[in-house]
A = this chain, B = another copy of it.
Amino acid sequence: MQKIPDGDDRTRYCCEQCDSIFYQNPKNVVGTIPIYQDQVLLCKRAIEPRLGKWTLPAGFMENGESSLNGAIRETNEEAGAEVIVAGDSLYTLFNLPRINQVYMFFRAELANLDFAAGTESLEVALFKEPDIPWQEIAFPVVKSTLEHYFEDRRSQHFPVRMFDVYHHKDRSVTTTLISHSSKSE
């Protein structure tokens, strides 16, 4: 059942049998931008949503792992790829308050070319920038990350960027770079 626990100010899922409270908080989705020379590795999705569209390898961060290790694990699971990741690799962070998710992408180098589609991918392939299927990218957070990545490659300067993503009633999506002052609401 749903109720407000003592001392709390929000409704939570509470089990009447064992008194457990299941707090529902935003979940982190972690992934990589796997690079080989001037190419990026993309996965064609074998599952809904966006079946058949291309994405960067990413998935839910699990208990017991760091965000970076989760991203490396997902890259291995979805693209069969081993990556080498530097310490300053955090690259984009997207808040998606409408669907209670936070996406984090890390820059990574493919350790070798032994990649292969995992169970959640139909196909994995390397793309040079002009060959990226821009009209067939699964999610706005992936498109935005790829656009910024190839732009930043020209200067070899990769600042961490944070975005808020708003999902509108007409199903359109706005991705806003958080770049101005923000005050308490």
**A55 at interface (Cβ–Cβ under 8 A)?**
no
Whether A90 lies near B25 (C-beta < 8 A) is no
Number of interface residues of A (CB under 8 A): 52
* Copies of this chain in its oligomeric complex: 2
B102 touches A181 (CB 8 A): no
Residue contact A90 to B162, C-beta cutoff 8 Å: yes
How far is it, in angstroms, between the C-alpha of A73 and the C-alpha of B179 when the chains are bound?
A: 19
Contacts of A177 in B (CB 8 A): 87
Identity of the chain B residue whose Cβ is nearest the Cβ of A182 in the assembled complex: B85
Say yes or no for A68: interface residue by CB 8 A criterion.
yes
| Contact of A13 with B by CB under 8 A | yes
Q: Determine the distance from Cα of A90 to Cα of B92 in the docked complex, in whole angstroms.
A: 11
